[in-house]
Each structure stands twice: as C-alpha cells, then as structure tokens.
Amino acid sequence: NYILQRPEYTRENQAVCHLKLIYSDDDRIAAMYWLPEDCATVYGEPAAPYRLAADALFAFDTATLRPEADRALADLLAKVRAHGDTGEVRVDGFTDRLGSAAYNRELSQARADAVKNYLVRGGIAASRIRAAGLGSSQPLAHCADSLPRGELIACLQPDRRVEVTVSSAAR
C-alpha cells in the first residue's frame, strides 16, 4: 500500500492518492487499485512490456542478431518512438534455465545490449536506455527436467525472451 501526494498537494488542499499493489507468485504486479480512481490518470498506469521471443532475434545460445530479426526490431523501434523522446526505455534479457546462472546472466545481458544497440542505431538516445541481463530469474515455462534435451529446449522457448518497457517521463 502506498500513499502519494498529488501534484496539486498544498497544506490547504491535502490531495493524496492511495495505491494498492497485489503481487503474483512470480513477483510481478497482478492487480493495482487506486483511490480515488482518477489517480490512475494523474500518475499513469505502468507500461506493459513489449515481449520479443529471443529465438526470433537470435540463434540458440548466441547474442548475435539474426538478419530476419530486423522486422521485429523495426516494429519495436516504431513502438518506442511512438512514446516520444522522454522517459526511460528498459531492455531486459532473459534466458531459459539451461546452463549455469553466471553464463545465463552474461548471455541475457549480451542479448539486452544487442537490442539496446539496435534502438540507439534507430535514433533512441542511449542515455534513455537501461539494459539488464536477468538470466533465468523470471521463467514463464514449466517444463519437466525429465524431458529429452530437444523437447526440453523447445518447452523452455518462452523463457528465452527480451522485454522492452517504455516508461513515461517523470512528473
């Protein structure tokens, strides 16, 4: 639960917003409630990330962009540009659970950096972009370890991704 002072807050007009966040088991926001409800428009809803399958951008176990990734990245660039020239752009890279934690962090960071570099080449200011490699810390797939390796790799595909979130400028 959070209490936020509205921009029009003064000693005489103690306008505040109450925000309640409910988290899911994977530590993501599952629900959000504002009182009064118009506070959502004052502070804005958090932006949902643009999710790109890493397999569409990179060959398995690499951080080199595939030539065919250009279409998905051009679409992403247009979406980021549509938010204007202010606000932070967060690029989070993720891997599946195969491999060591250290290796997965490095690979996910390299993939996040590759997407960041594409956005910078497309005209987004590097100072606005924060790239982070989160490894296998936020899995989406639930796959049995007993699967044959090829089937396990295919099952874990949703975990291999890059998520890009564009936040509005600070108020």
Closest among 50, 51, 61 to 158, alpha carbons compared: 51
* Residues 137/94, Cβ–Cβ less than 8 Å: yes
Range of weakest confidence among 32-36, 93-97, 124-128, 162-166: 32-36
pLDDT, tens digit (0-9, with 9 covering 90-100), for 138-151: 999 999 999 999 99
CA–CA separation, 156 and 75 (whole Å) = 25
* pLDDT classification of 170: cutoffs 50, 70, 90: very low
- Closest CA relative to residue 159, chosen from 134, 132, 141: 141
| pLDDT over 90 percentage in the chain | 61
Residue predicted with more confidence, 37 or 121? 121
**pLDDT at residue number 144:** 94
Structure confidence by residue, pLDDT tens digits, 5-46: 776 666 666 678 888 888 777 777 777 787 877 777 666 655
